[in-house]
């Protein structure tokens, strides 16, 4: 996937910071300002709850015009606007709505597997982990296959427009154009879907303007699949790396939720929170944070903090359930948490049921982990299996 940069294993560095500087100042790209970087679980959770830290750069007096520009959504607004926009789509991502989607998610998974099962080999990143979440979020948004962009192209463009350190104008234009295409199609073809609900919310005043409409659709479309893709890919790698853990889930399908929770903790797809901006002078640990400064919580570090999790670097689905921070915490807890969990459980269970002798064709240690700096997952998952499988 063009534009992606490989990350080295970040966890030894996180551990050093936890032991020596659980909150510290680091240089901010492109500015003279320093960002407070937090790696402690307790400090991160407290910061995620702190109402003095805003996700909205407009409230902080941020001097960066680019940070305050663009369409608005639940991702970069605080209460009460955050709650107003979130209520428009809450129903579509509730536990009951997601549970009703599980049979369709399984069907999408089987369709993806059938496309490569006869070959006996596949890159499960490109041919499975990528395809399934993209198909699922487009169905939720009501976008028919004929109107969808190629999944690999969209993922690449979304990454370069939104996730990359320096967004590329060409990619930003592409994503904006895709949002326009979807809105134009759903205005002409309304249905029982999230995009139609957003359009009706604009007409009914629950969304204030076209900027909020576009921002909300982009927030559903991009994060709605870009985080689940690495989750599925890393899940396949970790389970093949730990056949004893895989065997427990295959023998007892009730264990798949345990698998997904441990994957979310052990291999945090979202490495760090969105920027928080200090609305007043405050302290995080030993660090003084002036008003207008940026704070960044390392969710990945927090999820492997030995002060919170025993043997944190071990992948163990028998680990006692403790709250991880992979979906954030507090007001901005991930809207799609139920969906992400369901996709992980269904997709992994379906794959290993269909291809019981699935195996990596390279040592797990040689797989490149990429998507940095804010996301992390395998770039490729080359695998082999008996042709045909159960598909």
Q: Where are the alpha helices (DSSP H) in 159-295?
A: 169-188, 194-204, 210-221, 223-226, 228-241, 243-251, 256-266
Q: Each residue of 241-275: b (16+ CB within 10 Å) or e?
A: ebeebbebbbeeeebbbbbbbbbbbbbbbbbbbeb
Whether 294 and 44 have beta carbons less than 8 Å apart is answered as no
Angle ∠(179,54,226) on CA atoms, nearest 5 = 35
The radius of gyration of the chain from alpha carbons, rounded to an integer in Å, stands at 21
CA distance 39 to 10: 12
Nearest one of 223, 269, 271, 274 to 35, comparing CA atoms: 274
Tell me the pTM: 0.93
Whether 253 and 355 have beta carbons less than 8 Å apart is answered as no
* Residue 377, phi then psi, degrees to nearest 5: -175, 170
Residue with tokens 């007096």: 61
Q: How does pLDDT run along the chain (391 residues), one tens digit per residue?
A: 444 454 568 999 999 999 999 999 988 666 667 899 999 999 999 999 999 999 998 887 754 555 455 678 888 999 999 999 999 999 999 999 999 999 999 999 999 999 999 999 999 999 999 999 999 999 999 999 999 999 888 888 887 887 666 778 898 899 999 999 999 999 999 999 999 999 999 999 999 999 999 999 999 988 778 889 999 999 999 999 999 999 999 999 999 999 999 999 999 999 999 899 999 999 999 999 999 999 999 999 999 999 999 999 999 999 988 899 999 999 999 999 999 999 999 999 999 999 999 999 999 999 999 876 788 999 999 999 999 755 4
Report CA torsion sign: 276, 277, 283, 286. positive
**Among 1.10.630.10, 3.30.70.20, 1.10.30.50, 3.90.25.10, what is the CATH number of 11-384?**
1.10.630.10
Backbone angle region of 267, left / alpha / beta, with phi > 0 → left and psi within -120 to 50 → alpha: beta
H/E element, 105:
helix 95-116
- Which pLDDT score, from 0 to 100, does residue 69 have? 56
Domain boundaries along the sequence of the chain = 11-384
- Which pLDDT score, from 0 to 100, does residue 7 have? 54
Whether 242 and 354 have beta carbons less than 8 Å apart is answered as no
Q: Each residue of 6-42: b (16+ CB within 10 Å) or e?
A: ebeebbeebbebbeebbbbeeebeeeeebbbbbbbbe
**What percentage of the chain's residues is helix, strand, coil (to nearest 5)?**
55, 10, 35
């Amino acid at each position: 996937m063009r534009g992606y940069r490989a990350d080295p294993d970040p966890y030894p560095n996180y551990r050093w910071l936890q032991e020596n500087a659980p909150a510290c100042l680091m240089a901010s790209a492109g500015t003279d300002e320093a960002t407070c970087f937090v790696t402690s679980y307790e400090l991160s959770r407290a910061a995620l709850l702190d109402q003095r830290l805003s996700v909205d750069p407009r409230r902080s007096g941020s001097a960066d015009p680019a940070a305050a520009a663009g369409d608005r959504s639940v991702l970069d607004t605080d209460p009460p606007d955050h709650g107003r926009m979130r209520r428009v789509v809450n129903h579509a991502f509730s536990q009951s709505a997601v549970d009703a989607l599980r049979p369709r998610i399984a069907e999408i998974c089987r369709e993806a597997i059938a496309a490569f099962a006869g070959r006996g080999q596949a890159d499960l990143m490109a041919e499975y982990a990528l395809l399934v979440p993209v198909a699922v979020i487009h169905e939720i948004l009501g976008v028919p296959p004929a109107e969808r962009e190629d999944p690999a192209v969209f993922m690449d463009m979304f990454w370069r427009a939104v996730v990359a350190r320096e967004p590329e104008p060409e990619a930003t234009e592409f994503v904006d154009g895709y949002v326009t295409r979807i809105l134009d199609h759903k205005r002409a073809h309304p249905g029982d879907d999230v995009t139609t609900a957003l359009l009706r919310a604009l007409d009914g005043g629950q969304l204030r303007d076209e900027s909020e409409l576009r921002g909300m659709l982009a927030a559903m479309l991009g994060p709605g699949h870009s985080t689940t893709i690495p989750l599925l890919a890393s899940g396949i790698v970790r389970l093949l790396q730990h056949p004893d853990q895989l065997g427990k889930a295959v023998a007892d399908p009730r264990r798949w939720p345990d698998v997904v929770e441990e994957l979310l903790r052990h291999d945090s797809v979202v490495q760090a929170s969105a920027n928080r901006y200090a609305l007043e002078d405050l302290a995080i640990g030993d660090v003084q944070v002036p008003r207008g400064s940026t704070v960044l919580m390392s969710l990945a570090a927090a999820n492997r903090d030995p002060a919170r999790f025993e043997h944190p670097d071990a992948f163990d689905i028998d680990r006692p359930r403790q709250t991880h921070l992979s979906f954030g915490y507090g007001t901005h807890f991930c809207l799609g948490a139920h969906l992400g969990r369901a996709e992980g459980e269904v997709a992994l269970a379906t794959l290993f049921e269909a291809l019981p002798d699935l195996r990596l064709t390279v040592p797990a240690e040689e797989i490149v982990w990429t998507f940095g700096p804010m996301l992390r997952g395998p770039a490729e998952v080359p695998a082999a299996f008996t042709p045909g499988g159960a598909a």
